[in-house]
Structure 1
């Protein structure tokens, strides 16, 4: 790697064990790291200051164990920070006010370091999390995309689902916390037919998609221009539902798919992306989604280690000049 100096700032919660795999690599390379959970640390001892004037910007981040000038942060790894909820000792509108000010104040500072390389930039992450935006970018990047409709019209939904000769599925547009009888309940991808669709669709947009006649699934983890393909064989329509029943095997990524991945990352200004594909028996890779901050440490040890080193490479090198 190059001789870039400066600290790596990692924005994540204290229970994020996935981060540790990368931090171990950076420690071996003696790259200084500062870890911060802005949603909680900034009202429990940490401080963040930024000053702006014509021709310059300066600032300082102080945590319980580190002090770093904002101008010396070479990279920022945006992982799984806690939400901005405000200090627990406050209540009502005071807590909401503090949470909002932290989001717009600290969030703005942490997204605006003058020379840092972001993996990924938080605003790019947010923009890339919208599934309709993903599908639009996937089309323009050259991926095969299953026929899809996003609608709050029950009539439109029934017409679309009825027209799919191979069947259709429903997918939530966001992983919103949901409970049934007070117990957490996951909303998985599931098959749907016209009779299932009621007027309740009008409450909010729903995503319906042609069911891909897949032979297997593939997860492609992209870190810059490095791709890590993993074939996933599962008895379930949605392999995430019972991960203890999946079988994983490394797989090469076809050149056309690799080119589309590169175009997609460039279009949405991402360094990292976790792409999911459904692959047919004839070898067509259908784009399903790309999580710009998807988990990766659940993969086989060799793949996990390779991804950790690739992320460490990105963080160590800093921004290209």
Structure 2
């Protein structure tokens, strides 16, 4: 049985479930945010054996739910787990702080502990491995070792180092955040060019670390999705759009078209090697193709979105993800 850990509104999981259903596979989808309010999760030790059980109760807010209906899932039957976009446990609504915070944190630690006992292949990797793989400086270190073309970069909160890079690049520099923290209300900081006016306030850098990087000239940007040993590459024509030219995440539909891209074999091999070096079997890499044909590494996301690429280009990424999960499910002990 395949266990998919993700939020209920995850369209990537929806697409994968449709493919799993088409193949007649056995799976269960679960959001850890439902513990403890809507799901009972338990681990028991008896007669020298450890067992794990998940019981999903009917949603009392759903008028159509059967009060007697509940789903019992034997987690010992799990053969592969997909850590897609799992939520963090939420305390029952009737609890207020500090009790709600206490319950949520205790539940988070317990749920994470349970997943660690699932000695089965994990996509993209076990959670501690994924968290470590998100570290941008370590990514840069490994990319350099593997021979990627990496832009001149400074990471940290040293104004002098940032000023030195600004001079080194002739004022052609961008800034982006180190981690995945949102500013509030889900707002993220996008990649932005650093101006001479910005540099006038460089002393403010000491208050928060960030990434400063040489601005790489772009012909197109690439989204490279690695699934196991397979590589799916899409070109993002970000330079056609004033919104997306510095950060393709600001793409505006038809003004930022995507198309399949034939990635050179040596670059594709480096993408697979970097994914493996981070302990992952899945990764979404961002590269830049310069006007003179260089392929420049920017970063890798262990849980990067891919469905938008598939829908725009027809690249069969969902099928490749399901291939990995079902291979592990049908071959006990197989690695992803």
**Displacement of 1:247:** 1.1
- State the superposition RMSD in angstroms: 2.1
Q: Residue 239 of structure 1 aligns with which residue?
A: 248
C-alpha spacing 1:128/1:51, structure 2 compared with 1 (3 Å): same
Consecutive unaligned residues in structure 2, runs of 5 or more: 58-69
Q: Residue 101 of structure 2 aligns with which residue?
A: 96
Select 2:217's aligned residue among 186, 189, 213: 213
**Displacement of 1:304:** 5.5
What is the number of equivalent residue pairs in this alignment? 311
Deviates more, 1:69-78 or 1:53-62: 53-62
- Asked whether the 8 Å contact 2:221–2:237 carries over to 1, the reply is yes
What CA distance in whole angstroms lies between the structure 1 residues aligned with 2:222 and 2:269?
Answer: 16
- 5 Å-filtered alignment, 1:23-172, equals 23-39=17-33, 41-52=34-45, 56-64=49-57, 66-165=71-170, 167-172=172-177
C-alpha spacing 1:304/1:172, structure 2 compared with 1 (3 Å): farther
SS of 1:143's equivalent? coil
**Displacement of 1:241:** 1.1
What CA distance in whole angstroms lies between the structure 1 residues aligned with 2:267 and 2:45?
Answer: 44
SS of 1:76's equivalent? strand
What CA distance in whole angstroms lies between the structure 2 residues aligned with 1:194 and 1:136?
Answer: 29
Q: Residue 191 of structure 2 aligns with which residue?
A: 189
Consecutive unaligned residues in structure 1, runs of 5 or more: 1-6
Q: Residue 282 of structure 2 aligns with which residue?
A: 272
TM-score (norm 1): 0.90
Q: Deviations over 1:100-135 (max 9, x none)?
A: 111111111113202344433222221111211221
What CA distance in whole angstroms lies between the structure 1 residues aligned with 2:137 and 2:171?
Answer: 22
Deviates more, 1:305-314 or 1:270-279: 305-314
Q: Residue 4 of structure 1 aligns with which residue?
A: none
SS of 1:79's equivalent? strand
- Asked whether the 8 Å contact 2:52–2:75 carries over to 1, the reply is yes
SS of 2:79's equivalent? strand
C-alpha spacing 1:53/1:277, structure 2 compared with 1 (3 Å): farther
Select 1:201's aligned residue among 186, 202, 205: 205
Q: Residue 3 of structure 1 aligns with which residue?
A: none
SS of 1:299's equivalent? helix
What CA distance in whole angstroms lies between the structure 1 residues aligned with 2:12 and 2:278?
Answer: 24
**Displacement of 1:69:** 2.3
SS of 1:15's equivalent? coil
Q: Do structure 1's residue 13 and structure 2's residue 23 form an aligned pair? A: no
